[in-house]
Amino acid sequence: MNEKFRIRAKRNDRIAQWMITLGGMLVICSVILILVLIAGTTLPLFKAPRAEIFAKFPLPKEPTQEVLALGVDEYLETGFFIDRQGRFNFFENQQGLASDQMAAQPPGDGIKVLKLESFGRMQFGLLWEDGSLSLERVVYKPFFDEARGNRRSIEHTLERDAFFPATTTGLPVQSMGRVAEGGRKTRVDLLTNGQLLINQVAVSESLFGDPEEESFSESVVVPAGASLTAMALSSDGTKLYAGTSSGRLLRWSLAEPGTAELLDDLRAFDDQRTITALTLVFGDYSLAVGDDRGEVTTWFPVRIEENRAGKQLQRIHDLSSHNGTVVMIRPSLRDKSLLSLSEQGLLRLDHMTSERHLLELGNHEPLTHYNFSTRSDGIIAMTSDHRAIIWRLDNPHPEVSWGTLFGKTWYEGYDAPEFVWQSSSGNDDFEPKLSLTPLIFGTLKGTFYAMLFAVPLALLGAIYTSQFCRPRLRGIIKPAIEIMAAIPTVIIGFLAALWLAPLVEKSLGAVFMSIVFIPVGLIIAVIIWQTLRRHEPLKRIERGYEFLAVIPVIILSLAIAITLGPLAENLLFDGNLKQWLFTEMGTRYDPRNCIIIAFGMGFAVIPLIFTIAEDALSNVPPALRAASLACGASRWQTVWRVILPSASPGIFAGSMIGFGRAVGETMIVLMATGNTAIMDLSIFNGMRPLSANIAVEIPEAPHGGTLYRTLFLSAVILFLMTFVVNTAAEVIRQRLRKKYGRF
């Protein structure tokens, strides 16, 4: 033989060995890669938030200047502070140097700011010493600076939203003003005598389309014994909250100008604690309450009793506690986070829905003033020694915690904690509801009903095919069922939803009748056959063809059920089973429900279970079977007592694999369920399983967002569900293989 050829052949052989080994390893790696990648995408959900110090410098101010409030733009470039004279002093954060000064125009010469309230997006209510109130707003506007090579710069302006002249009732202790979108202005004053004065200017359109202003002034008597210590006003000025020194919470509606309505007067805390800080969480639905025990709680009105129309404030979420009195709480303007400051100068960032404590700032230097940046992804604060610190927040998924993902959560607008999946909505201040529990429930529910339908049919069919059927027929049936497995699920789903669902809806009675009629028909047929089979020729042909003989019986029973269905419905349920279900049983009938899923998904998994179970059954050594028959057992006794036990691991494996397939099936459930995330075991309504949820929501989920990562998490759950089941099945099959040594 040619030496060269031999060397080449050997070399090729070695190369091939490496390549092939590499290919094999690649397969294991890809399974691991899939899991690692999907799981890796979900990990940031649980990452602890971080605040990185962006800048830190002594505040550029005169020693005499007193700081009332702070602010910073969305790029954390330009900050400002407000002093007693009502001047807004801007500074560059990079160098920590003062840049320019803008003054809010005082109502008269030399009048200083008495009190300042900061609210909304860089909005400030300045109460002047003469009792007048002005609402100022700092507007940051990014633009591309031609002069500086088209670099992005940011410019700032100061705008006045409203001016409320001084009231005649003397100098208020505290004053709040708001301008609603339609132009309606509201001013609330807490007077020295503990009463409230409410001034409102309503804007309506006259006949000729000109705006008409109408002023209302009203003195509100605070209930006896309540000395107000904190107040909060919604951004449209229609909801007023107040807290007292003895732990009472008061709530007024100012929706009707001139007639303030006291909605709540609630002893919120039994231990007489003083409520020291109140603010409305982003969206103006929940109220955040801080007290002198250092606790921060959120409250919103809840319907207390079924038949009472009114709602009452209810304690919903408890956030992490401070050590001392809570001085101030500020809401984030991008999510439901709250930033609270204690008298010790410690800042704590908490998320309301998830009750997650996110951050603690100011451990080393006590803080006195703080504010969110305009986009709420940064914080500016001042230390007690007049230094400014600016943090950039890395806090992408504060709303996710194990509790919100899997537990019951009390969402805004709900009367009790619930499992809810509702990922998005039209408005920005929406509280995302990302509970995976109803989806997992939906997956398991659909799988359960499908398996209920598929497992008996597939296993019994497999027993028949492997044990009783004529071998010639078996050679046709088995491939036929294997081909059945190839029918695309999108087709099954389409037929289930658009052909089967209307059919079942129309003849629901017949469907239930057939469940009874088919077995009864079979028993009758067997009894009749029993008398017929005494004739020798019939007896000879019967064996191995039973299932063919049964087909007309089934069709006949079905036909009887369909004809009798409407009749029975008339007699028993006043002609409308669906109506009866609703009124008598309290279950709503969805046209796309679990009956449809059971048929559709069951049909999709039957071939899988059938094939594996049939293989396992027909691979039981024939000696066992022969021995049993020789001992005089009937063919059923042989199957039941001998074959089934020895093939049981294979049958189990088949069912497991069928289960895995049903869990992950997407198209059928996507098309044939209503896709509503409800938790209801009833067979008459649908569900929203994990898989369909992914298919529906991932196209709309922004890359890297909370929803995107949560959907990846649900993919991990699906993966793990099938992984456990498939691994178990495979281990069993490998054992079986060893036992019989021939698969």
Most distant CA atoms of the chain, gap in Å: 123
Number of residues in contact with other proteins, rule: CB under 8 A?
A: 118
Q: Where are the alpha helices (DSSP H) in 375-427?
A: 402-406
> With respect to other proteins, which residue has the nearer C-beta, 216 or 573?
573
Q: How far from 478 is each of 65, 99, 392, 481, 484, CA to CA, in Å?
A: 90, 84, 65, 5, 10
Give the range of 199-207, 249-257, 427-435, 458-466 binding other proteins by CB under 8 A.
Answer: 458-466
> With respect to other proteins, which residue has the nearer C-beta, 413 or 475?
475
In the complex, least distance from residue 576 CB atom to other proteins, rounded to whole angstroms: 11
In the complex, least distance from residue 632 CB atom to other proteins, rounded to whole angstroms: 11
> In what helix (H) or strand (E) does residue 242 lie, and over which residues does it extend?
strand 239-244
Question: By CB under 8 A, is residue 448 in contact with other proteins?
Answer: no
Q: What is the Cα 403 distance to its own chain's centre? A: 11
Residue 661, Cβ neighbours under 10 Å: how many? 23
In the complex, least distance from residue 512 CB atom to other proteins, rounded to whole angstroms: 16
Question: By CB under 8 A, is residue 624 in contact with other proteins?
Answer: no
> With respect to other proteins, which residue has the nearer C-beta, 67 or 644?
644
Question: By CB under 8 A, is residue 522 in contact with other proteins?
Answer: yes
Which one among 46, 144, 402, 640 touches other proteins, defined by CB under 8 A?
640
The site string for other proteins over 547-586 (x = CB under 8 A, - otherwise) reads: xxxxx-xxx----------x---x----x-----------
Give the range of 318-326, 341-349, 370-378, 452-460 binding other proteins by CB under 8 A.
Answer: 452-460
In the complex, least distance from residue 618 CB atom to other proteins, rounded to whole angstroms: 8
> With respect to other proteins, which residue has the nearer C-beta, 69 or 463?
463
Question: By CB under 8 A, is residue 634 in contact with other proteins?
Answer: yes
What amino acid occupies position 59? Answer: L
How do beta strands 287-291 and 296-303 pair? antiparallel
How do beta strands 378-383 and 196-205 pair? unpaired
In the complex, least distance from residue 451 CB atom to other proteins, rounded to whole angstroms: 15
Q: How far from 347 is each of 295, 364, 487, CA to CA, in Å?
A: 13, 11, 60
> With respect to other proteins, which residue has the nearer C-beta, 412 or 615?
615
Give the range of 60-68, 199-207, 371-379, 733-741 binding other proteins by CB under 8 A.
Answer: 733-741
Question: By CB under 8 A, is residue 743 in contact with other proteins?
Answer: yes
Which one among 10, 47, 152, 539 touches other proteins, defined by CB under 8 A?
10
In the complex, least distance from residue 565 CB atom to other proteins, rounded to whole angstroms: 10
Question: By CB under 8 A, is residue 731 in contact with other proteins?
Answer: yes
DSSP states of 25-78 as a string?
Answer: HHHHHHHHHHHHHHHHHHGGGGPPPEEEEEEEEE----TT----EEEE-TTS-E
Give the range of 140-148, 288-296, 432-440, 662-670 binding other proteins by CB under 8 A.
Answer: 662-670
Residues 6+ away with beta carbon under 8 Å from 577: 508, 509, 569
| β partners of residue 267 | 248
Question: By CB under 8 A, is residue 98 in contact with other proteins?
Answer: no
In the complex, least distance from residue 154 CB atom to other proteins, rounded to whole angstroms: 22
Give the range of 88-96, 143-151, 195-203, 469-477 binding other proteins by CB under 8 A.
Answer: 469-477
Find the binding residues for other proteins in span 131-170 (CB under 8 A). none
Find the binding residues for other proteins in span 683-712 (CB under 8 A). 691, 694-695, 698-699, 703, 711-712
Contact 378, 390 (CB under 8 A): yes
In the complex, least distance from residue 573 CB atom to other proteins, rounded to whole angstroms: 13
Find the binding residues for other proteins in span 355-384 (CB under 8 A). none
Q: Which of 689, 516, 520 is nearest to 600 (CA)?
A: 689
Find the binding residues for other proteins in span 476-495 (CB under 8 A). 477, 479-495
| Dist CA 249 CA 245 (whole Å) | 10
> With respect to other proteins, which residue has the nearer C-beta, 551 or 630?
551
Question: By CB under 8 A, is residue 428 in contact with other proteins?
Answer: no
In the complex, least distance from residue 606 CB atom to other proteins, rounded to whole angstroms: 6
706-740 and 690-697 helices, crossing angle to 10°: 140
Question: By CB under 8 A, is residue 297 in contact with other proteins?
Answer: no
Residues 6+ away with beta carbon under 8 Å from 50: 359, 393, 394, 395
In the complex, least distance from residue 622 CB atom to other proteins, rounded to whole angstroms: 11
Q: Which of 398, 399, 403 is nearest to 417 (CA)?
A: 403
330: three-class secondary structure by DSSP? strand
Which one among 7, 20, 203, 221 touches other proteins, defined by CB under 8 A?
20
Q: Give the start-end residues of each E strand in 464-572.
A: none
Find the binding residues for other proteins in span 258-277 (CB under 8 A). none
Question: By CB under 8 A, is residue 458 in contact with other proteins?
Answer: yes
Cα torsion 140, 141, 146, 149 to 10°: value is: 60
Termini Cα distance of the chain: 40
| Dist CA 551 CA 607 (whole Å) | 19
Question: By CB under 8 A, is residue 227 in contact with other proteins?
Answer: no
Give the range of 273-281, 283-291, 417-425, 521-529 binding other proteins by CB under 8 A.
Answer: 521-529
> With respect to other proteins, which residue has the nearer C-beta, 355 or 615?
615
Find the binding residues for other proteins in span 182-211 (CB under 8 A). none
How many residues appear in the chain? 743
Question: By CB under 8 A, is residue 725 in contact with other proteins?
Answer: yes
Find the binding residues for other proteins in span 21-40 (CB under 8 A). 21, 23-24, 26-28, 30-34, 37-38
| Dist CA 683 CA 446 (whole Å) | 9
Long-range Cβ contacts of 155-159 (<8 Å, 24+ apart): 156/73, 156/78, 156/80, 156/90, 156/102, 157/102, 158/88, 158/102, 158/104
In the complex, least distance from residue 222 CB atom to other proteins, rounded to whole angstroms: 56
Q: Which of 188, 161, 162 is nearest to 173 (CA)?
A: 188
The site string for other proteins over 41-80 (x = CB under 8 A, - otherwise) reads: x---------------------------------------
Q: How far from 238 is each of 179, 333, 524, 604, CA to CA, in Å?
A: 10, 19, 74, 56
316: three-class secondary structure by DSSP? strand
Which one among 670, 678, 687, 732 touches other proteins, defined by CB under 8 A?
670
Which one among 184, 273, 348, 733 touches other proteins, defined by CB under 8 A?
733
In the complex, least distance from residue 435 CB atom to other proteins, rounded to whole angstroms: 19
Q: Where are the alpha helices (DSSP H) in 698-741?
A: 706-740
Residue 312 is encoded by which pair of tokens?
């009452």
In the complex, least distance from residue 679 CB atom to other proteins, rounded to whole angstroms: 21
Which one among 288, 510, 715, 732 touches other proteins, defined by CB under 8 A?
715
Which one among 230, 250, 718, 732 touches other proteins, defined by CB under 8 A?
718
Q: How far from 426 is each of 423, 429, 432, CA to CA, in Å?
A: 11, 9, 11
Contact 610, 484 (CB under 8 A): no
Question: By CB under 8 A, is residue 597 in contact with other proteins?
Answer: no
> With respect to other proteins, which residue has the nearer C-beta, 426 or 699?
699
Which one among 269, 589, 603, 652 touches other proteins, defined by CB under 8 A?
603
